[in-house]
């Protein structure tokens, strides 16, 4: 079964709309999609439903859609795992910072859920930890200046949680200015691995995008060609990567 790939700019909702419009014109038998933009994805799924095109989602789970399956991690639970790890290394009298890099939270549902999970974990602690600040940074911003000034004005911050794979951008600043902060982020891209080797990043949460897409394609084949039943939801484990075990995740 031939597979065709369509790409979109994750910072441009119109790019997503353009790609999904092209998909609908080609009358595919099935679709595997990362629904990065919330309303745009709902509009696209409505049209898929009208044309009876089955679709599987991965990475981000949207509620109240007719997707035949979903593959990915529980984003809210991912945030809770990050908070649990942070709670083990940061003293209770210190403040915490959540950083969203290059994300419009109106669209980035998975980042909002990560933030929610992180905060909920600390609210459930005894005593509750409420002093969690949130910083949104665009790639076009002077990340170094913004972060250094923010930490200078908030000296009690000792733990930083970055909700994307761009955690290395924060690690670069911490290293350059010799700022001692615990740091947690996502994914095994080479830039992040360099900083976890140095111990500047404490933990990486591995989202396993390759496995997500492979399983999604496999489920489509099972559904369309072999007429098999496929799971409505396949949640992948939230894997924790450290300086001591990162080599086990590298192929």
CATH number of the domain within which 99 lies = 3.40.50.2300
Q: Which pLDDT score, from 0 to 100, does residue 178 have?
A: 96
Contact 114, 79 (CB under 8 A): yes
What is the model's pLDDT at position 144? 96
Asked if residue 217 is part of any domain, the answer here is yes
Residue with tokens 């200015």: 177
Within-domain flag for 4:
no
Cα gap 198→9, rounded to integer Å: 32
pLDDT of residue 126: 78
**91, 149: one domain:** yes
Residue 92 has what pLDDT? 85
Whether 176 and 95 map to the same domain: the answer is yes
> Which residues fall within 8 angstroms of residue 205, CB to CB, at 6 or more apart?
78, 81, 82, 184, 185, 186, 187, 238, 239, 240, 241
Q: Residue 241: in which H helix or E strand, if any?
A: strand 239-241
User: For position 63, what pLDDT does the model report?
Assistant: 80
Same domain, 158 and 146: yes
Does residue 36 contact residue 7 with C-beta atoms inside 8 Å?
A: no
Per-residue pLDDT for the chain (251 aa), expressed as one digit of tens each? 678 999 988 778 899 999 999 999 998 999 999 988 888 999 999 999 999 999 999 988 888 889 999 999 999 999 999 999 999 999 888 999 999 997 665 557 788 899 999 999 999 987 777 789 999 998 888 999 999 999 999 999 999 999 999 999 999 999 999 999 999 999 999 999 999 999 999 999 999 999 999 999 999 999 999 999 999 999 999 999 999 999 998 86
pLDDT, residue 129, reads 73
Q: Do 173 and 201 belong together in one domain?
A: yes
Q: What are phi and psi of 74, to 5 degrees?
A: -80, 110
The domain tally of the chain equals: 2
> Residue 246 falls within a domain, yes or no?
no
> What domain range is 51 assigned to?
13-73+208-237
Q: Are 212 and 237 in contact (CB under 8 A)?
A: no
143: CB partners within 8 A, 6+ apart: 101, 137, 169, 170, 173
Q: What is the pLDDT at residue 167?
A: 97
């Amino acid at each position: 079964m031939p597979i065709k790939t369509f790409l979109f700019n994750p910072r441009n909702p119109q790019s997503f709309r353009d790609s999904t419009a092209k998909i609908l014109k080609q009358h595919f038998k099935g679709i595997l999609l990362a629904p990065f933009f919330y309303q745009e994805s709902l509009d696209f799924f409505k049209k898929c439903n009208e044309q009876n095109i089955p679709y599987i989602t991965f990475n981000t789970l949207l509620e109240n859609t007719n997707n035949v399956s979903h593959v990915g991690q529980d984003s809210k639970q991912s945030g809770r795992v990050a908070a649990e790890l942070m709670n083990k290394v940061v003293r209770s009298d210190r403040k915490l910072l959540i950083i969203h890099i290059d994300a419009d939270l109106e669209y980035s549902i998975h980042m909002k859920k990560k933030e929610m999970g992180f905060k909920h974990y600390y609210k459930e602690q005894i005593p509750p930890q409420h002093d969690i600040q949130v910083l949104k940074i665009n790639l076009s911003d002077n990340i170094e200046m913004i972060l250094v000034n923010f930490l200078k004005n908030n000296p009690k911050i000792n733990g930083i949680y970055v909700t994307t794979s761009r955690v290395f951008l924060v690690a670069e600043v911490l290293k350059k200015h010799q700022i001692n902060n615990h740091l947690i982020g996502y994914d095994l891209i080479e830039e992040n691995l360099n900083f976890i080797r140095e111990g500047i990043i404490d933990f990486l949460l591995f989202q396993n995008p390759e496995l997500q897409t492979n399983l999604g394609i496999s489920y489509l084949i099972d559904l369309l060609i072999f007429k098999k039943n496929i799971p409505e939801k396949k949640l992948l484990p939230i894997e924790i990567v450290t300086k001591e075990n990162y080599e086990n995740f590298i192929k």
